[in-house]
Amino acid sequence: MENGNISLKQAALWCGGTVAPAFAEVSFCGANFDSRNLQAGELFVAVTGARNGHDFIPDALEKGAAAVLVSESVREGIPAIYVSDTVTALQDIARGYRESLSLRVVGVTGSVGKTTTKEMVAAVLGTTYRTQKTPENFNNGLGLPVTVLSLNRADEAAVLEMGMNHFGEIALLTRIAQPDIAVITNIGTMHMENLGSREGILQAKLEILEGLRPGGLAVFNGDNDLLSSVAEQYHAVTFGLGEKNDVRAVNITTENDTTHFTADAFGIRIEITLPAMGEHNILNALAAIAVGLKCGVAPERIESGLADFRNTGMRQHIYDCRGVKIIEDCYNAGPESMEAAFGVLRSYPGRKLAALGGMLELGPLAPQAHYRVGALAAQTADVLFAYGANSEQTVRGALDAGMKNAKYYESHEELAQALKAELRAGDNLLVKGSRGMKMERVLRLLDMNDGGTQHG
């Protein structure tokens, strides 16, 4: 298995599949379940779902696939591993490959903030070690094993994000990743619909410890009530703003879309300049500092890694467009991340407007949660524009809390028209909602999604 190459014979042993003797020594490097993105030399995984991946085998071979992982017959002459379930087999192959690697793995999960924390941890470790990380949102039962199989033998660290919305999902992922360090960012209310309660969410997130390697370390948000209640039980390192945490932030100031603070970490003090706003991002950075120090990264390198940090996708991008400060945070939303976003909006001088989409996967808690978010918005925003599921409750919460200008809109187009009439130079606009709300469309309709200089 030089440089990540895996023979079909070895992969078949890991997953219990069969391979023709003529192809036993054929090797692949990496895997892909999407023929459009496949790179030459990778294993093509034919997943049967809404579309049958076996139909795309010709495309994959044309792209240069080294072999295919299949549950249906393929024509003679194609190097193939035959299994009963290609997704389970992919996971088993990734688990076997992970066990063959000597690199350090950091697993990250939590109700909110896990992707940003993953990026910050990778930024810190990348100053000292050859580091890989979960790309985009590859944090599920398909994406994580593909990420593991992309690792090279020369890699020294990997930061792997683990998402879920049902019990047992993180247990599966952590047994594949086998982390040396497991980070839990917080326990909120996301996925309440499937997990029943915050205590259920805690139980699901703690599954990450089931795959922790012997001698491995847990890193918990010590400011979170549920995580702090079990931190001692799991001998966890804690981070947060509270004085009892092992890693905490003091002397916090903000200036020009940048946060400055002193990290007090295991008795070491590190001056941090973070190109991001909000208390939630301070917490994410503290998790990265805790991991960095435990992995032997020098304090000055932690400082430089976080100073160079840049967020991904549609997570809290802050930029100026035609005199308006835009806080674009359209990747996802829950009550906790909404409250954090209000904290960022509050930090800017000038009039404050909030365009909020609905929050999904909250189950029976949804009406109450939206009402509370509306009440919180009234403490920060001057004008509220709401769209999507349960957003009428957001408006009601805002009006009951004393906001004078709050309204629900039936479409992105209506909301954008209302915003266009309201916005003026010097305003600050927060746009946020669950991924399914597609709130970035509002900015596109306003032609304000890529304006000006992006800061964070």
pLDDT band at 456 (very low <50, low <70, confident <90, very high): very low
Q: Dump pLDDT digits (tens) for 361-386.
A: 888 889 999 999 999 999 999 999 99
Q: Over the stretch 256-306, which tens digit does the pLDDT of each residue have?
A: 888 999 999 999 999 999 988 888 899 999 999 999 999 999 999 999 999
**Listed residue (27, 163, 193) closest to 97, CA to CA:** 27
> Tokens for 251?
């002397």
pLDDT at 452: 38
Interval 10-24: pLDDT, tens: 999 999 999 999 999
Q: Residue 453: is its pLDDT beyond 50?
A: no
DSSP 324: E
pLDDT of amino acid 451: 44
Cα–Cα distance, 265 to 268 (Å, whole number) = 5
317-445: CATH class: alpha beta
Band the pLDDT of 188: cuts 50, 70, 90: confident
DSSP output for 287-307: HHHHHHHHTT--HHHHHHHHH
Average pLDDT along the chain: 92
* Whether the Cβ atoms of residue 150 and residue 94 lie closer than 8 Å to each other: no
Beta strands 6-7; 31-32: pairing state: unpaired
Determine contact, residues 82/19, Cβ cutoff 8 Å: yes
Residues 100 and 176 sit within 8 Å (Cβ to Cβ): no
The structure tokens listed for 6 are: 């895996």
CATH number of 101-307: 3.40.1190.10
**C-alpha to C-alpha distance for 325 and 31, rounded to whole angstroms:** 42
Give the domain ranges of the chain. Answer: 2-86, 101-307, 317-445
pLDDT at 180: 98
Per-position DSSP letters for 385-438, written without gaps between them? EEESTTHHHHHHHHHHTT-S-EEEESSHHHHHHHHHHH--TT-EEEEE--GGG-
Q: In this structure, what DSSP letter does residue 213 have?
A: P
pLDDT tens, position by position, 319-353: 899 899 999 988 778 888 899 899 889 989 999 99
Name the DSSP letter for residue 42: P
The answer to whether 101-307 and 317-445 have equal CATH topology is: no
**Architecture label for domain 2-86:** 3-Layer(aba) Sandwich (3.40)
Give 93-118 pLDDT, tens digit per residue. 999 999 999 999 999 999 888 989 99
Three-state SS sequence of 423-439:
CCCCCEEEEECCHHHCC
Statement: the pTM of the whole predicted model exceeds 0.85:
no
Instruction: Provide the pairing of β-strand 131-133 with 324-329.
Output: unpaired
